[in-house]
A and B are shown apart, each in its own frame.
Chain A
Amino acid sequence: MASRKELTITDKFVLKVIRPLKNVLKDLARYWGGRVGLAILIFLIVTSIYAVLALPAGFIARWENAAYWDENPQWAPPAWVSAFGVPVAESSIISKSRPDEPLVLEGGRFVVKYTATYRLEQPAFPQDLVLKLAGVKIVNVSGVVYVPHIAMSVKRPDGSVIQMFGSDVTLGGNETVEYIATRDLKPDIFDLWRISSSLATYYNYSIPLEIVGNNVTLQKIGESIIISKIRGEVRLKRASFIFGLPVVDVSKRDQTAQLNTITNSLNSLIEKIDVTNEQVADIKQRLVDVKNLVDSLRDEDKTLTDYLAILERARANLTMIWRVAFADLLLPPEQLDMLNSIIKDVSKYIEQLYTTDAFYDIRITTTPLTGKYEFTLEISYTARDELREIVSYPADEVRIIVKGNVYGFSGTDDLGRDLMQVLLYGTPIALAIGLTTAIITTFIGVFAGIASGYYGGVIDEIIQRIADIIGNIPTLPILIILAQIAQTQYAQYGTEVKALMTILTIIGVLIVFGWGGLAITVRAMTLSIKEEPYIDAARALGASNSRIIFKHIFPQVAMYASASLVASVPGAILSEAGLSVLGIRHGWPTWGAILSRARDTGRYDIWWWIVPPGIMLSITSLAFILLGLAIEKIVEPRLRTL
């Protein structure tokens, strides 16, 4: 006989781990479900490894920090929607640490210019335009503080130049500057006045002559009315005026109602007048004339100029009639009062037509203007020789940010956070939660079940009663309340500790209330294994209880236990996500946390916020369910022999 060969550690490893694993995988790959499950699992594991390696330090804190994400567009769909014909505006962040043009002296000021270009390729509006300045210098030269003036303008594809913004940096009331101070600024660059007047100057908006008539003053007033309308629109839809061509459509507003009030009261006055003598008859006739004059305005082609001319004549006539009637006491007092109020109405109407848009119907629409945009930022200081060196680099960094209407592969949420990152970094967290819970639960379940079945008696009774209790208790309410308690308990230790402890509490509760079912099944299996003759034989040979349990019983239960382990992984992942959706948040960037935020804001309509995390959750649990089913199939024949 050959001497027994000593096994090296490598051999043992191959024999005990690699070969069985290979067999299991081969078995699994025989089934269709097993193959799909394995494929998803491998994808998830690779993703997790990548995520763990790529995870930037402090990501969890950064995720909750809204300021970090403010350069991204909010609620932006994924960039690939453009493949479905949705026009897309790219996001672009232009960062400059040095000026593009050296300092020049212009009109007694030192001026430094930064320029940035942006191309709008498709007819869509970017969401917003943001200017950020880091470390802008404020200088104190022998007691005089020089603050920079910041101005921004944009040259658009059609050649128009819009002045967006221009303002001195303001110092706080009791701020003092020692030599050089720096400021980080994020000015609101949408100066409504500048933008609306720039637009009006370039595009020369005016009221069509067939509406306003040839009165030059009225034309000028009309233009200013348009500008103020544009101003109101810019306030509401700012970026669409920077990146779009405003189209102003003016039509005449229907004046029938206003004319009716005047002619109706004139009519009722005319009817009331009793003709007692010639003079009264004359007054009545004159009133009828005025009425006819006003009625003549009902023509469609009357312009504002006509309106004002005729109404002013009518008012003059009415005033004269009133004077005559009043002086000669031709009309009773109440009719005089009526006449007076008609005059007031006409005056009010005239004033309205002069100063408001009562005569116009102005509609402003914008269409995207594609092409090249050149942004120019000017930082200028009052010129003084000592300043020249210091202010030739007036800021550490200048950022001009165009927020597009789409973002990345998965879009953004309400704070502009990149959802792709949670989909990525959520994977290892989900797997860790699921696997930890499943492994510990299965471990406890298997050994409680074996102990219960093998030893019997009091141990059996105790374990089975506990399994009974946890089998009958609804787990979710317990989970909610304990997670809640953990959150209040650990709130004082900061968010990171609180998050960790909440997750650990969830895992703990799932373990404590999760092993019962497995223990009952394993006990039944152990009971039948215990009756096998070879167990008796082992005992007769003097094998200890622990040897019998580990060498003879455990291997038989192990396969079933592994099926149960795999099948129980999704439970914990879905419980964590479900709790997040309920609003019990831990603060980690998990898939459930995205859904939770979507639910909080009530935006069910934003599909890229709701669908992808759910798909990740679903495919993760699908992988484990398919693997569980496949393992069950492999195990089944052995199960049936028991």
Chain B
Amino acid sequence: MVKNMPGAGYVIARRGLILLFSYVMIIIVVAAIMEATGYTQRIYEAIVKESVQAEIQALVRAGRQFTPTELEQIRKDLTTYYSRMYGLIDEEGNPIPPYVRMWILIGNALTFNLGKATKESVAQLASRLPPVPVVELIAIVLPRTIIMITVSIIIMASIALMLAPRIAYRHGSILDRAIITYFAVFNAIPLWWLAMVFILILGYQLRIFPTNLRPVSTYMMRFWEDPLGNFTQIVYFAALPIITIVVAGLGGWLYSVRAMVLRIVREDYVVVAKAKGLPERDIARKYILRVSISPVLTSVILSLAYSLGGFIITESVFDWPGMGSLYYAALTTGDTPTVVGLFVVTVGVYIIARFILEILYIVLDPRVRAR
């Protein structure tokens, strides 16, 4: 049995290839949805039409006189120019079919050539005018999601790590049941609805927190001019979203960490340790926490990686200019470079996190290699 066990290097390489394959496939799926359905094509055609119209109107307003044939020629030239710019036709003027553009898009995405955002409402999130390079856009927007969602997840995970082992140790107690009830109730409540209710009560009725959170971007952009003052401002604006996410999500974290710890608590060696009369604290720390740390760490790391994509609905309810809002703006306006760029970055980060975890597992726990 042991003889047939493959080496760690082989397993890591195999897992890496599998994850890379998933990544490439996801990019292909996204590109196919954007291009092969004709969605991007329709949107680009609309943009070309709009741009041509706007340019002709500008010329007319500038006082130029055209005969109808001249006007037709200008319209044709401009249409060709813009169509080429948006990749609808090639150098010879032949239309490029969607499936060809799809592969061009995939090629660019996989070589991290993310292009530029062309839509106003997308660029606006970074307080810029289009075109803005997608990488730059994400670099500006990502920190905002980090201070709202990643921070919330760190808070929830730390509280769960501190409390859950104790709850699991006394499982069946009133506290344990209260936690399960809390989990069940708040798992049922949609986060974005809780956000609406909190804005209603804490924002509008009691006026404790601001209801317009957009200004946070200004303080973040000018952070280094006055770090302390800006930091307090950012905390002021981020407080309501963070409180909402923590209140809604803490139950889930407590429950899942408790479940992971509970699996260990029921192991024979823990029962033996209890029977031996070892102090409770020692059992909790040495026998339980150390063993259960790896699944807990896995879910923490994966959640952190996942959080970088933002919570689209919740960010939209708070009108928080983070990754979720960027996703939403890009998806609804059909800004294909931004959409693909976002998938490249968020899925990429998630897959890299999974790969690192796989390596850690394989290196630390030889049993995994047998899979």
Contacts and interface: CB of A to CB of B under 8 A. Distances in A.
Interface stretch (A58-66, A272-280, A315-323, A466-474): A466-474
Interface stretch (B20-28, B213-221, B270-278, B289-297): B20-28
A618 B184 contact: no
B328 A595 contact: no
Interface in A116-151: none
Interface stretch (A245-253, A399-407, A603-611): A603-611
Interface stretch (A381-389, A450-458, A545-553, A577-585): A577-585
A194 interface: no
Contact of A465 (B18, B34, B309, B343): B18
Contact of B26 (A472, A578, A610): A472
B196 interface: yes
Given A480-B328, A582-B312, A610-B196, A621 B188 contact: yes
Interface of A: 33, 465, 468-469, 472-474, 476-478, 480-482, 484-485, 488, 570, 574, 577-578, 581-584, 595, 598-599, 604-605, 607, 610-611, 614, 617-622, 625-626, 629
Main secondary structure of the interface of B (DSSP, over half): helix
A171 B306 CA distance: 67
B187 interface: yes
Given A468-B22, A481-B34, A604 B312 contact: no
Contact of B33 (A476, A482, A581, A614): A482
Nearest to A598: B196
Contacts of A570: 188
Interface stretch (B57-65, B80-88, B346-354): B346-354
A626 B42 CA distance: 45
Contacts of A578: 190, 192, 313
A468 B22 CA distance: 7
Interface string B190-229: 1011001101100111000001000000000000000000
Contacts of A605: 200, 204-205
A474 to B, nearest CB: 6
Contacts of A485: 33, 37, 39
B347 A604 contact: no
B199 A477 contact: no
10 contacts: A472-B19, A476-B313, A477-B312, A478-B30, A481-B339, A574-B190, A604-B196, A604-B203, A618-B189, A618-B193
Contact of A473 (B37, B342, B347): B347
B190 A472 contact: no
Nearest to A623: B188
Contact of A488 (B29, B34, B42, B184): B42
B343 A468 contact: no
Contacts of A620: 188
Interface of B: 18-19, 21-23, 25-26, 29-30, 33-34, 37, 39, 42, 180, 184-185, 187-190, 192-193, 196-197, 199-200, 203-205, 211, 306, 309, 312-313, 316-317, 327-328, 331-332, 339, 342-343, 346-347, 350-351, 354
Nearest to A626: B184
Contacts of B190: 574, 577-578, 614, 617-618, 621
B196 A599 contact: yes
Contacts of A477: 312, 327, 331, 339, 342-343
Contact of B188 (A476, A481, A595, A619): A619
B62 to A, nearest CB: 35
Contact of B332 (A480, A599, A622): A480
A469 B22 CA distance: 5
Contacts of A478: 29-30, 33
A34 to B, nearest CB: 11
Nearest to A489: B37
What 10 pairs between A and B have smallest CB-CB spacing?
A: A622-B188, A614-B193, A621-B188, A578-B313, A618-B189, A480-B331, A468-B22, A469-B25, A604-B200, A469-B22
Contacts of A607: 200
Contact of A481 (B33, B193, B317): B33
Contacts of B18: 465, 468
A625 B190 CA distance: 13
Contact of A625 (B34, B187, B346): B187
A607 B204 CA distance: 11
Contacts of A621: 187-190
Given A472-B351, A474-B347, A488-B42, A581 B192 contact: yes
Contacts of A629: 180, 184
Nearest to A467: B22
B245 to A, nearest CB: 15
B105 to A, nearest CB: 14
B34 A469 contact: no
A639 B316 CA distance: 40
